[in-house]
Structure formats: structure tokens, C-alpha cells
């Protein structure tokens, strides 16, 4: 059976129930990873599937998992591990939709941040498919509230992200605890050495399915870059949004801190924008996402990792506020637009020191990214004016209750204003044109004669660099490796360059003592926490002696704490999402 010939789900030997659900979900034909993956998984083999985000990997394993559940047993028969709570929820919901006509199947999402007692009660009633995050699954295994003796299928979804997030050990101990004769399936957007080593250890003679990225050459995506001074990026971005009338837009940047900065800046300028990144609580994220899907928010600003977990379609465009550090991320990002035959725009804002990365991306994708011209202030006022006239005409045509406002003009005339003045003032206000704070000539950087790509600029990029401090938490290993030395630089604008113990001191302590694990906490000096607060919280919550806690480096916005290696996991589990001095804290292994 070759995949080219599979045009229909009915060719995949699926049960009527599943086919009915698929029709209802509007799935017309299997995606390539489904066409190849479903038969391989159904035949019982171990499978490695590689395909990028948004290609339908969930159903590729979800359908065969559903086909193999034995409803006469109440035991857990399939375990799916996902990197984040969002993904766990999303995957369990998608499997739920696929299972709509399989009465009696129970699927449960198990993740941190949700009441463990509620989960335990639910698990007691009997669950066939568990979709969970590694930390919480481990937790249940230790409490013996989850038993895996009957598990036949084990799925590692978004395996690359799980490893990037530091779940390697958890995954390995979970895998080691599964019945020997289970089937193991691993899905990932990228393949790295650590993933290959996991597959070597835990998969049996796996079938490798790799779907080539056709997004790389998706002709529906218009790829353009703009050479922009770092401090003018938001201005240029808003001009592009206005110029192209982008109403549903995803903006990517490399760090969480940048997400917050951009959102704040956009909101101040009157754009309906919200950010999504790993620091948001589940409730906040769902909130942000439903507003975006409803069109209340038009601009969603995200980091690469956070964007993995969201399912949005019909975007007008994607803006790369920063150029990603990884070529594959660029492909993932722009693949979010121009779907299903619609056209999409992918704009990249390139600072001088990012130019070489753009070149690397071009080499990788084999597509030339065109250089664009930044719209002038006049251009922007022009398009806004045209749109204003259009919307006023529409309001007049559609308005049957306009006589309610008849006297407004009269009232203003009474105050001594001319009709021209009144209309002008209203236009300006409604159009929301900002005062021109940047000269057009001051937005782009000039290519110096003989400048080589990849050259780093000295002072002009401070704005860029200062964002890298908190980034490790979001991006994990890859970025950490490349930019590790920035990590301990004092973070934040106008902040003293003197960190606790000084810059050199903190560099020296970048490696924790033997036997210790360095943890990253999302609270810092700005939260008024003191070493004793941290010791108190960790010792109390994780139940370890305070004196075993090692070095504590408090920075403005985050803190590094060394704890004994053997206690690191207990501390993570006890503290992540917990509070210190009433402030919610995110905690993770520092990389
Ligand atoms: P991935 O895990 O590869 O990132 P998902 O499984 O989350 O992708 O699927 C992305 C989106 O595409 C989801 O909204 C899903 O419902 C939809 N989808 C998946 N398979 C199909 C299909 N065969 N036809 C139409 N839509 C699909
Ligand atoms: Mg997925």
C-alpha cells in the first residue's frame, strides 16, 4: 500500500465509528503523516514519525490507539505523554472527538496545576487512555494511583519539546516501567541525537516515517524581510499591520520577556494584542486563546514553544519580530499562515546582527526572501484615511438610527467650530493615527559598504541582547548552548550592572558544585524576595533540610538556587506553580 494511492480514510481499514467521527470533524482525507502513520501503527510496529507542527500527528496515533482499546477491561491501555498541559488537554480533546461514537471509552488528561485529588478520583473510576505530562504522570506512578501493567501502547508526542523542557529522565523512568511487550510510538517535529538515543534504547525495530516539509516551498506564503533598527521594530510592525490590513496575526519573538514588552507596546498604541508564553496559568492561556479565536484580539504574540501548543488557522500573516535561532523554527512559524490555499504574509524584521541568520534560513529553505520597503508615515495615514472613509460610508448606508445623533453637529457648531474642524478632529481620533514619533529615515539601518553578513554590532543592539536573560526557561537546551554566556548578564533596562557578587562571580558560579542541581526560579529582587524566603519555601514545601540548599543568586527578575541533585525533582514538583511570599513561582532546572 503506497501513500500516494490513499485518498480516503475508508482505505485505512478503520471502524465505522471512527469514520463517522472523522466525517463529522470535517476531515476529508488523511494528511501524509496520517496516510503513512496509521497503517504502520495499526500493524503493531514501533513507529517514529517526523512531521512538522500542524500536520495532523494527533490523529495519526490517536486513531490506531482508539482502534486497539479493549472496552471489556477497565485498565489503562494507552499512555500518551505530551510536553505541556495545553497539549495534553488538546490531544485528549482531539482523541475524545475521534472517539465520539465509541461508547464507554474513557480518556483522561493528567497534568500539573490541576487538582491531584480530582485526578485520583477520576482514575479510580477506570480510564482507558491517559494523556499526561511527564511530571504529573510520575507523580501518580509514585502514589500508585496509576497502574500501567496493562498498557499496550505508549506514545511520546512532541518528543523534541519534551526533551528540550528537561523531561528526559522522567520519560526514561516512565518508559522503563512500562510492560515489555508494549508498542512504542514517538512523534516529533525534529529529530535530534537525544531523541535517536531514546529510540535506540526503548523502541523495537521501529518503522521510520518522515514527511518532507512541503511548507518550505509553499507558494502561498509571501516572504519579505525588512531591515529595521532594533528600537524601531514595533513602529515598523504596526506600519506593516496597517498597510496590509492584517486582522489576524501571529507575532513571534525569541524570549518570553520580549513577548511581554511587545504586547505592552502594541496595547499602548491601541492594537488589540495579547501574549502567550510559558509563564501564563492555564486559565489565562485559555482566555487569551478564546479571545483570539473570536477575533476580539487580533494580534497574538508568542514564543516558539508556546506557539507549539496552540491551534489556530486562517491567519493573515506571521511576523518574525526576532529572527529565530533555529532555521526549523522559521519554517514552523511561517507555516502558520498560507494554509489551505489561502494566501499569507510572512514578514521578518531583521536587525543588523540578525542578517546572517536570515541568510542561513534562506540557504536552508532554498527560498529567496525578498527585501521589502518600510511604508512611510504618509503611506500609513493614506491607508487609514481610505479605510476611515469606507467605514463612515458603510455606517451611513447601514444606519437607520442616525437621527439620534443629529444634534451633535449642531452642538459643536454652537461651540464655534466649523464642520471641517469637527470632521477633521473626529477622523483623527477614530483613525487612531499616532503622532509620527519616528522619522521615516530613522527606521532602517544602512548597509555599510563592504559589510559582511554575520558581523555583530557593538552598541546598537543592546535592546536585543537584554532580552536573552530569561530565555532559557522558554527555549531549553538549544538556545542555552548557543547563548549560554548571556544568561548571567544582568537583565533589564536601567538595572544596576552589579548582580549579587558581580558579573564575574556569577559567571564563575555558572556551574553548580558537584552533586548539586541548579534551579531557575521566576521570582527575583523585584518581587522583594530574600534568600531566607527561598530557603524557607523550598525546605518547607519539598521537605528537605534548609542547610542542604546551596548557593542562591538573586537577580532582578529571576533567581538561581542550587539544591542537592537527589532532591531536585522533589523540589520541582513541590514548588512549580506554588507561591513564595504569596507570589506564584515557576521553577525549572537551569540549563
Ligand atoms: P500536529 O500534532 O502535527 O501539530 P494536530 O494533530 O494538532 O497537528 O492537527 C492540527 C490541526 O489539523 C487540528 O486542528 C486537527 O484537528 C486538524 N487536522 C488533523 N488531521 C486533519 C485532516 N486529515 N483533515 C483536516 N484537518 C485535520
Ligand atoms: Mg501535536
DSSP reduced 3-state for 58: helix
Q: Which three cell numbers stand for residue 370?
A: 525578498
Cβ atoms within 10 Å, residue 437:
10
CA of 27 to the centre of ligand 1 (A): 9
Whether ligand 1 lies within 6 angstroms of the CB of 556 is answered as: no
For residue 218, give the 3-state DSSP assignment. coil
The pLDDT of residue 235 is 92
Residue nearest atom 5 of ligand 1, based on CA coordinates = 56
Residue 65 to residue 359: CA distance in whole angstroms? 42
Residues near ligand 2 ion, CB 5 Å cutoff: 57
Please give the number of the atom of ligand 1 that sits closest to the Cα of 308: 4
Contacts of 112 (CB under 8 A, 6+ apart): 85, 133, 135, 136, 139, 573, 576, 577
Ligand of minimum distance to the alpha carbon of 9: 1
CA distance 564 to 403: 75
Ligand 2 centroid – CA 46 distance (Å): 18
Question: What is the full DSSP assignment across 250-289?
Answer: EEE-SSHHHHHHHHHHHHHTT--EEEE-TTS-HHHHHHHH
Atom of ligand 1 nearest to the CA of 55: 3
Burial class (CB in 10 A: 0-12, 13-18, 19+), 354: buried
Record the cell numbers describing residue 363, joined without a space: 540557504
Per-residue HEC secondary structure of 509-573 comes to CCCCCCCEEEEEECCCHHHCCCHHHHHHHHHHHHCCCHHHCCCEEECCCCEEEEEEHHHHHHHHH
Other beta carbons within 10 angstroms of residue 526's beta carbon come to: 12
* pLDDT computed for residue 309 by the predictor: 66
Distance 411 CA to ligand 1 centre (A): 57
Q: For the whole model, what pTM was predicted?
A: 0.49
Residue nearest to atom 24 of ligand 1 (CA): 27
Cβ burial, residue 93 (10 Å; 0-12/13-18/19+)? middle
What is the whole-number distance in angstroms between the Cα of residue 489 and the centre of ligand 1? 41
For the CA atoms of 382, 386, 387, 391, the dihedral, rounded to the nearest 10 degrees, stands at 150
Going from the C-alpha of 473 to that of each of 257, 380, 431, 591, the distances in angstroms are 11, 38, 39, 8
Q: How far apart are CA 318 and CA 304, in angstroms?
A: 12
- Ligand 2: distance of its center to the CA of 102 in Å? 22
Among 11, 56, 336, which residue has the most ligand 1 atoms within 8 Å of its CB, making it the best to mutate? 56
Give Cα 197 distance to the centre of its chain.
25
The three state secondary structure string of 80-119 is EECCCHHHHHHHHHHHHHHCCCCCCCCEEEECCCCCHHHH
* Residue 502 confidence (pLDDT): 34
Closest ligand 1 atom to the C-alpha of 53? 4
Ligand 1 centre distance from Cα of residue 454 (Å): 37
The answer to whether 520 and 558 are in contact (CB under 8 A) is yes
Is the C-beta atom of 55 inside 6 A of ligand 1?
yes
Smallest CA-to-CA distance from 53 within 470, 267, 332, 464 is with 332
Q: In this predicted structure, what is the pLDDT of residue 476?
A: 30
CA of 81 to the centre of ligand 1 (A): 18
pLDDT-flagged residues of the chain (< 70): 1-5, 212-219, 309, 339-342, 432-438, 447-510
Write the residue with the smallest CA distance to atom 17 of ligand 1.
56
Neighbours of 311 (CB within 10 A): 14
Atom nearest to 94 CA in ligand 1:
16
* Ligand approaching nearest to the C-alpha of 81: 2
- Per residue in 28-63, pLDDT (tens digit) is 888 889 999 999 999 999 999 998 777 889 999 999
pLDDT of residue 261: 92
Asked whether 213 lines ligand 1 (CB < 6 A), one says no
For cell 543568586, name the residue. 553
3-state secondary structure of 348: strand
* Cα separation, 560 vs 412, whole angstroms: 61
SS3 of residue 44 by DSSP = coil
Cα Rg of the chain (Å, integer)? 27
Q: Which atom of ligand 1 is nearest to the CA of 311?
A: 14
- Which residue segments constitute the domains of the chain, with CATH numbers given? 3-211 (3.40.50.300), 217-374 (3.40.50.300), 379-431 (no CATH), 471-589 (3.30.70.330)
Single out the residue of 85, 156, 146 nearest to residue 121, CA to CA: 146
Residue 110: predicted pLDDT = 95
Alpha-carbon distance of 204 to 138, in angstroms, equals: 23
Distance CA(108)–CA(74), nearest Å, equals 13
Which 3 state secondary structure label does DSSP give 473? helix
For residue 250, the model assigns a pLDDT of 94
208 Cα–ligand 1 center, Å: 20
Q: State in Å: Cα 52 to ligand 2 middle.
A: 9
Asked if residue 576 lies in contact with residue 563, where contact means CB atoms within 8 angstroms, the answer is no
Q: Do 351 and 254 form a contact (C-beta atoms < 8 A)? A: no
Q: Cell 514538583, residue?
A: 573
Residue with CA at minimum distance from ligand 1 atom 20: 56
Q: Is 91 in the pocket of ligand 1 (CB under 6 A)?
A: no
User: Which of 58, 86, 157 is the best mutation target for the ligand 1 pocket, counting ligand atoms within 8 Å of the beta carbon and taking the most?
Assistant: 58
Q: Is 188 in the pocket of ligand 1 (CB under 6 A)?
A: no
CA of 441 from ligand 2 middle (Å) equals: 44
What pairing do the DSSP bridges indicate for beta strands 249-252 and 559-564? unpaired
- The CA distance from 389 to 588, in Å, is 53
CA of 309 to the centre of ligand 2 (A): 8
Q: What is the DSSP letter of 486?
A: G
Q: pLDDT digits over 249-273, tens only?
A: 999 998 888 999 999 999 988 899 9
Nearest ligand to the C-alpha of residue 160?
A: 2
The pLDDT, as a whole number, for residue 501 is: 34
Amino acid at each position: 500500500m503506497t501513500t500516494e494511492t490513499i485518498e480516503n480514510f475508508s482505505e485505512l481499514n478503520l471502524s465505522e465509528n471512527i469514520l463517522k467521527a472523522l466525517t463529522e470533524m470535517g476531515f476529508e482525507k488523511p494528511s501524509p503523516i496520517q496516510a503513512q502513520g496509521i497503517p504502520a501503527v495499526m500493524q503493531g510496529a514501533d513507529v517514529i514519525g517526523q512531521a512538522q507542527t500542524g500536520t495532523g500527528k494527533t490523529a495519526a496515533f490517536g486513531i490506531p490507539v482508539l482502534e486497539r482499546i479493549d472496552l471489556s477491561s477497565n485498565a489503562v491501555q494507552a499512555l500518551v505523554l505530551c510536553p505541556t498541559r495545553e497539549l495534553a488537554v488538546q490531544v485528549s480533546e482531539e482523541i475524545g472527538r475521534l472517539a465520539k461514537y465509541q461508547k464507554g471509552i474513557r480518556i483522561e488528561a493528567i497534568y500539573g496545576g490541576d487538582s491531584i485529588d480530582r485526578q485520583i478520583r477520576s482514575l479510580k473510576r477506570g480510564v482507558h487512555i491517559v494523556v499526561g505530562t511527564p511530571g504529573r504522570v510520575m507523580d501518580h506512578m509514585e502514589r500508585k494511583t496509576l497502574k500501567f501493567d496493562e498498557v499496550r501502547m505508549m506514545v511520546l508526542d512532541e518528543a523534541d519539546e519534551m526533551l528540550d523542557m528537561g523531561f528526559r529522565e522522567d520519560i526514561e523512568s516512565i518508559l522503563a516501567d512500562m510492560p515489555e511487550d508494549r508498542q512504542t510510538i514517538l512523534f516529533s517535529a525534529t529529530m535530534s541525537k537525544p531523541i535517536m538515543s531514546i529510540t535506540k534504547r526503548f523502541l523495537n525495530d521501529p518503522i521510520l516515517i518522515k514527511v518532507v516539509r512541503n511548507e518550505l516551498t509553499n507558494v502561498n506564503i509571501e516572504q519579505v524581510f525588512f531591515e529595521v533598527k532594533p528600537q524601531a521594530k514595533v513602529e515598523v510592525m504596526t506600519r506593516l499591520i496597517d498597510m496590509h490590513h492584517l486582522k489576524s496575526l501571529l507575532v513571534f519573538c525569541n524570549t518570553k520577556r520580549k513577548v511581554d514588552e511587545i504586547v505592552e507596546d502594541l496595547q499602548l498604541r491601541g492594537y488589540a494584542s495579547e501574549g502567550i508564553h510559558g509563564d501564563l496559568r492555564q486559565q489565562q492561556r485559555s482566555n487569551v486563546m478564546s479571545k483570539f479565536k473570536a477575533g476580539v484580539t487580533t494580534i497574538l504574540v508568542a514564543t516558539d514553544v508556546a506557539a507549539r501548543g496552540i491551534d489556530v488557522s486562517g491567519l493573515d500573516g506571521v511576523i518574525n519580530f526576532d529572527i529565530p535561532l533555529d532555521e526549523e523554527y522559521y519554517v514552523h512559524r511561517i507555516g502558520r499562515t498560507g494554509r489551505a490555499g489561502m494566501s499569507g504574509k510572512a514578514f521578518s524584521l531583521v536587525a543588523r546582527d540578525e542578517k546572517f541568520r536570515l541568510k542561513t534560513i534562506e540557504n536552508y529553505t532554498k527560498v529567496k526572501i525578498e527585501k521589502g520597503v518600510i511604508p512611510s508615515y504618509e503611506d500609513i495615514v493614506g491607508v487609514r484615511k481610505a479605510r476611515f472613509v469606507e467605514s463612515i460610508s458603510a455606517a451611513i448606508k447601514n444606519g437607520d438610527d442616525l437621527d439620534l445623533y443629529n444634534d451633535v453637529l449642531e452642538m459643536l457648531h454652537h461651540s464655534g467650530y466649523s464642520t471641517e474642524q469637527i470632521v477633521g478632529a473626529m477622523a483623527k481620533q477614530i483613525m487612531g493615527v499616532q503622532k509620527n514619533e519616528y522619522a521615516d529615515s530613522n527606521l532602517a539601518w544602512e548597509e555599510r559598504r563592504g559589510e559582511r553578513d554575520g558581523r555583530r554590532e557593538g552598541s546598537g543592539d543592546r535592546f536585543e541582547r537584554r532580552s536573552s536573560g530569561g530565555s532559557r526557561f522558554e527555549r531549553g537546551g538549544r538556545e542555552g548552548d548557543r547563548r549560554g554566556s548571556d544568561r548571567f548578564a544582568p537583565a533589564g533596562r536601567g538595572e544596576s550592572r552589579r548582580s549579587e557578587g558581580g558579573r564575574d562571580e556569577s559567571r564563575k558560579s555558572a556551574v553548580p558544585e558537584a552533586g548539586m542541581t541548579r534551579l531557575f526560579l521566576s521570582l527575583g529582587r523585584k518581587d522583594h524576595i530574600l534568600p531566607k524566603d527561598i530557603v524557607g519555601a523550598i525546605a518547607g514545601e519539598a521537605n528537605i533540610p534548609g542547610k542542604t540548599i546551596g548557593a542562591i543568586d538573586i537577580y532582578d527578575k529571576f533567581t538561581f538556587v542550587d539544591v542537592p541533585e537527589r532532591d531536585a525533582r522533589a523540589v520541582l514538583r513541590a514548588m512549580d506553580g506554588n507561591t513564595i511570599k504569596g507570589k506564584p513561582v515557576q521553577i525549572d532546572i537551569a540549563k
